[in-house]
Amino acid sequence: METRHRSITLRILAPLALIVCGIALAMILSTANKSDSNSGPSPSAAEKARDLGTSKKKGSRKQRTTRDKLPQRVYVVMNGDTLGSISEKVGVSVEKLQELNPDLDQFSLSPGQKIKIR
Domain coordinates of the chain in residue numbers?
2-41, 70-118
**Binning pLDDT at 50, 70 and 90, where does residue 39 land?**
low
Name the amino acid, one letter, at 21: C
Predicted pLDDT of residue 58: 54
Is 3.30.565.10 the CATH classification of the domain at 70-118? no
Predicted pLDDT of residue 43: 60
Among candidate residues 86, 53, 51, the one with its CA nearest the CA of residue 72: 86
Residue-wise pLDDT tens digits, 75-99: 999 998 988 899 999 988 989 999 9
Sign of the C-alpha dihedral computed for residues 54, 57, 63 and 66 taken in this order: negative
pLDDT at 66 over 80: no
Q: Can you tell me the distance from the alpha carbon of 6 to that of 58, in angstroms, rounded to the nearest whole number?
A: 69
**Binning pLDDT at 50, 70 and 90, where does residue 23 land?**
very high
Asked if 117 contacts 74 with a C-beta cutoff of 8 angstroms, the reply is yes
Q: Can you tell me the distance from the alpha carbon of 89 to that of 82, in angstroms, rounded to the nearest whole number?
A: 11
